[in-house]
Amino acid sequence: MSHLHILGIGGTFMAGLATLAREAGHRVTGQDGPLYPPMSQVLADAGIPVHEGYQTLAEADSADTVIIGNALSRGNPAVEATLDRGLEYTSGPAWLARHILRDRWVIAVAGTHGKTTTASLVAWLLDAAGLAPGFLIGGLPGNFEQSARLGRSPFFVIEADEYDTAFFDKRSKFVHFQPRTLVLNNLEYDHADIFPDLSAIERQFEHLIRTVPGTGGVVVNADDPALARVLARGCWSERIRFGEHAEAGHRLQCHGGGWQLDGWRIEPPLPGRHNAMNTAAALLAARHAGVPLDQSIAALAGFRGVRRRMEWRGAANGITVLDDFAHHPTAIAATLDALRAERTSGRLLAVVEPRSNTMKQGVHADRLATALAAADRAFVLADPALAWDVGGVLAPLGGRATTAIDIDGLIEQVAVTASPGDTVVVMSNGAFGGIHERLLKAFETQGAGA
């Protein structure tokens, strides 16, 4: 087997790819900036050495192939060294497609929101049915000890995002995966750093659909207008349409606080309408792979969730801290609405870091106040580097919104506001400076001093 050296190994996709390559028998090394959990722990547990920094190209003398992550661009010293020395290099998606996905029944989960949860659900439903699938998921599913594994069957579940492949391949990652079962959860504008508008993203999804064979299936949210436009441009596979409206082939309905799919009562393992949609998509994808619907419905009760998706991080002084990956206004609103619906007492406090490239640019800034409407109080990090006025955007919330220019200030504001019985949900697509543990410590100190 060959020696692979991975530049940008700390990302969720690349860390998963690294563990797959290691499991397949390759020698794997990596290089990145400072890493943070959970992927730092994933790589450590796999015994994969990681060199910090890009000032030189580590392992250059022994690597057979350099795999370059999409976060790296021309001008990066390690990238320049790879090119100058004439080393063999490729992208993560291309290597994965050639060495792992070939001859597999690929189940790809794509869409703006819900990919990690839905992909984790599909993997669990297949595993519960005894199919032992392989998978690569951009998070840590609670039912498995890792974010990626080769599996022992033809089935391979992959979280398929639309971000670009590499500096030398600007197609979306997912066009490499060639799924036999494709899940399309939803589609709206995101990734403003690489896509000028929603139409550009729709074009990438159009390319993705063209890669599904005629004998394959596309599980699609029939309620989503952007996906309807994409499918109208051509689909040569079975359309498995689900949604809440009558035109959906598989009706998802809410009755008396519970959910039904095609008349079957289902209990989504996570709260909220968005998770009911994720669950319906996962059930139909598993059915397309051969798992009977009733068998998958029974297996839902065993799903243990995903790290950073409404994850309980602890409680101190009667205050609960949750962690969620929501960073787009739609996802923020969905998380808060789901938590609000479950609350019987105490307040709901939202703590948000506008960290994604899209949010940093302020593309969805005008939607943030509305997204936070379900929270009793909102605390938003107003990094001075942001290209927009956070305080001005949150003005419609009045005294319910608080900002701070750094994490220390934000923690101080949350700590003096939170009371026993409250729930604090932290939302960011990054580590947020370890704010979860720091908040718990502040609440603990608050309680000790009471």
Neighbouring residues of 217: CB distance < 8 A, sequence distance ≥ 6 = 180, 181, 182, 237, 238, 239, 240, 288
pLDDT surpassing 70 at residue 321: yes
Q: What average pLDDT does this structure show over 334-351?
A: 82
Instruction: Average the pLDDT over 138-142 and give the result.
Output: 82
As a whole number of angstroms, the distance between CA 172 and CA 176 comes to 8
Percentage of the chain with pLDDT > 90? Answer: 52
Q: Is the pLDDT of residue 353 over 70?
A: yes
What is the predicted pLDDT for the residue at 360? 66
pLDDT computed for residue 444 by the predictor: 82
* DSSP H stretches of helix in 24-176: 39-45, 77-84, 92-96, 115-128
More confident residue, 417 or 340: 417
> In the predicted model, is pLDDT for residue 211 greater than 90?
yes
**Confidence label for 15 from pLDDT (cuts 50, 70 and 90):** very high
Residue 246 and residue 255 in contact, taking contact as beta carbons nearer than 8 Å: no
Domains in the chain and their CATH numbers? 3-92 (3.40.50.720), 103-302 (3.40.1190.10), 311-448 (3.90.190.20)
Task: Find out whether 396 and 422 touch, Cβ atoms under 8 Å.
Answer: no
Provide the pLDDT for residue 391: 77
pLDDT for 448: 54
Q: What average pLDDT does the chain have?
A: 89
Q: Give the whole-angstrom CA distance, residue 409 versus residue 390.
A: 15
- Summarize pLDDT for 144-192 with one digit per residue, the tens: 988 899 999 999 999 999 999 999 999 999 999 999 999 999 998 777 7
Whether 318 shows a pLDDT value over 80: the answer reads yes
**Beta-bridge partner residues of 242:** 221, 250
Mean pLDDT computed over 278-287:
96
Mean pLDDT of 220-249: 92
Find the mean pLDDT for residues 130-138. 95
Say if residue 344's pLDDT is above 70. Answer: no
